[in-house]
Amino acid sequence: MNSDSNLKIRWARLEDRFDEKFGKKPDLETVLMLIGIQELRSSRQKFNKEEKEDLMHIAVCTVLSKDGYYTLKDYDSEGWPHFEKARKLPAYSGKEQEDFLKDHVLRYFENREKEGL
């Protein structure tokens, strides 16, 4: 089995878990926003458009920080984490970039399961 089909299978399993829990399959942006909310550790339920983009940025930095692409710098006065780029990201095409990010998202959830979170 090649890695592309393995990624598709792993992503489909994640979609199924979200579908069972929330009643619909999410796209990558939705999953990133949920990770961002989780990492923000806030009980807020409403976010404006700019905050939603910030949440997705938090998620991207968080999932890529496990491989050293970003490091957590600090938190601002409102509790929002801030990251800095630690190393250059690979130069991928659109589909390759999406798959790269999906793989890191999947590993994020796999690690959280192992940690019992």
Tell me the per-residue pLDDT of 69-100, one tens digit each, with 9 for 90 and over.
999 999 999 889 999 999 999 999 999 999 99
Residue 2 is predicted with a pLDDT of 54
Alpha-carbon span 69 to 43, nearest angstrom: 28
Alpha-carbon span 36 to 62, nearest angstrom: 8
Phi then psi for residue 11, to 5 deg, are -65, -40
Total number of domains constituting the chain: 1
Alpha-carbon span 98 to 81, nearest angstrom: 23
What domain range is 80 assigned to? 3-114
CA angle 48, 54, 58 (to 5 degrees): 140
As given in the structure block, the two tokens for residue 24 are: 């619909």
Tell me the per-residue pLDDT of 19-76, one tens digit each, with 9 for 90 and over.
999 999 999 999 999 999 999 988 888 999 999 999 999 999 999 999 999 999 999 9
- State the pTM of this model: 0.89
Tell me the per-residue pLDDT of 14-23, one tens digit each, with 9 for 90 and over.
999 999 999 9
